[in-house]
Amino acid sequence: MQIVMASNKNIIQNQVRLPLSVALEVVLQGLRTRLGRSIVTITGVVLGIAFLMSILTGQLAREGVGRETQTRAEISRMLNFLVAETGPLKDRVIGVIQTGNRSPLEDRFLSSLADEGPKEVRWHSVQGAPALSVSTPRVEAGAVGQDASAILLIGDGGAPSLDWNALASGVRQRVFAATYPLDGQAINNAGTVIELLRQPRAEEIAKQEQDDRKAAFRATWIIIISLGVTVIGISNAMLMSVTERFREIGTMKCLGALSGFIRTIFLIESSLMGAVGGLAGTIVGAIFSIVAFGFTYGLGLVLSSMNWGLLIVYGLASLVAAVVLSIVAALYPANFASRMVPATALRTNI
């Protein structure tokens, strides 16, 4: 083997820049060997992000449960309105006339209606709308009211132009229940008209808006506080893990490491720790929050009302926050240390 020495030793040259793979190797080895210490640092990141994520998930769970509870109350009110007029619906026949598409609320109302145990639900659609269910065939307009205790008018297409009197001729009870406002003399003459959907009053809307604003303000405030806790937690963990290695940094500089190489090492290390800790923290925080809300409201309700899309967005945001915060928190001391005169770095005792 031939060792090639610089031909002219008197000329000071520029130090070679090492490829990223060397830095990665040094980092992975450090993480493996210092496993205990790395886990402590990562735990700092996990705790910070888990806290943030549990707050965000909690917000989503509370919103979801609130919305779901409201929907359930609304459906039960609609059902009560109808039953007050028709009596119990068990073993009765109900006719449904649909115009346009159904809203999710109408779908859920219909399924609650089916839970009451009617003998038959007849379905007639005016404009080719999606079927109610596989077991409910479409019938002609004339047949929909046969023996029916009530005729439901649903869909976003508005009132169909039908002969209400003819429709009501074969019914058991002359009850028309609609999820949209009905007016016109004809239908009022044909039977009792129930408006299932309640139009909120102006002061109710105003109060709701005010409550929403309050909730949004509180949520923003809590998220800002939890972000602060996260920033402090992660910064502390990363700062400590760098400053306790000032001597090592000094030694590396004595051996010929460039400042850039040292910065690269800490950049890789902190982003790895941030990613691992962030992922764990996101999962732990989300699960913790869901289970905690599950105890209060029931796990089924929390899970079914959760806005999963937004939860994933929050999770990704937390992960990005973990990586960015870790890098920022580690880069400052690493940059500082890499610029240190080696003698000073070597003198450091922590």
Told to check if 350 binds other proteins by CB under 8 A, we report no
Q: How far is the CB of 277 from other proteins (least distance, A)?
A: 20
Residue 342: CB minimum distance to other proteins, A: 4
Task: At 299, list the tokens.
Answer: 């796990």
**Alpha carbons 168 and 191: distance in angstroms, whole number:** 8
| Residue whose CB is less far from other proteins, 124 or 253 | 253
Shortest Cβ 56–other proteins spacing (Å) = 36
Number of residues that bind other proteins (CB under 8 A): 38
192-195 sheet: strands from edge to edge: 120-125, 93-98, 148-154, 175-178, 192-195
Q: Out of 103, 146, 251, 348, point to the residue binding other proteins (CB under 8 A).
A: 251
The answer to whether residue 202 forms part of the interface with other proteins (CB under 8 A) is no
Residue 144 and residue 168: Cα distance in Å, rounded? 10
Alpha carbon of 156 to those of 97, 105, 109, 110, 218: distances in Å?
Answer: 12, 12, 15, 15, 36
Binder to other proteins among 58, 250, 278, 333 (CB under 8 A)?
250
Q: What burial class does residue 292 get, using C-beta atoms within 10 Å of its C-beta: 0-12 exposed, 13-18 middle, 19+ buried?
A: middle
For other proteins, the closer of residues 8 and 135 by Cβ is 8
Kindly state whether residue 134 participates in binding other proteins, applying the rule CB under 8 A: no
Q: Which is nearer to other proteins, 51 or 266 (CB)?
A: 266
- According to the binding rule CB under 8 A, does residue 336 interact with other proteins? no
Backbone angles phi, psi at 197, to 5 degrees: -85, 130
Q: Of 51 and 261, which has the nearer Cβ to other proteins? A: 261
Near other proteins by CB under 8 A: residue from 72, 146, 342, 348: 342
Q: Is 24 in the site for other proteins (CB under 8 A)?
A: no
Strand, helix or coil at 4?
A: coil
List Cα–Cα distances, 227 to 53, 132, 223, 233, 272, in angstroms. Answer: 10, 47, 6, 10, 20
Name the residue among 164, 218, 155 with its Cα closest to residue 193: 164
Binding mask 302-331 toward other proteins (x if CB under 8 A, else -) reads: ------------------------------
Among 78, 154, 257, 334, binds other proteins (CB under 8 A): 257
- The Cα–Cα gap between 216 and 201 comes to 22
Task: Rule CB under 8 A: choose which of 73, 254, 291, 299 binds other proteins.
Answer: 254
Rounded Cα distance between 167 and 125, Å, is 14
Residue 73 binding other proteins, by CB under 8 A: no
Q: Does 22 bind other proteins (CB under 8 A)?
A: yes
Which residues, 219 to 248, sit near other proteins by CB under 8 A? Answer: 247-248
**DSSP percent split of the chain into helix, strand, coil, nearest 5:** 65, 10, 30
Kindly report the number of other CB atoms within 10 A of residue 204's CB atom: 11
Name the token pair of 243: 């400053």
Q: Is 20 in the site for other proteins (CB under 8 A)?
A: no
Return the amino acid letter for 294.
G
Give 325 or 345: the residue with its C-beta nearer to other proteins: 345
- Which part of the chain contacts other proteins (CB under 8 A), choosing from 146-154, 172-180, 266-274, 342-350? 342-350
SS3 94: strand
256 contacts other proteins (rule: CB under 8 A): yes
30 binds other proteins (CB under 8 A): yes
Provide the binding-site residues for other proteins, judged by CB under 8 A: 1-3, 5-10, 12-16, 18, 22, 29-30, 33-34, 247-248, 250-259, 261, 341-344, 346
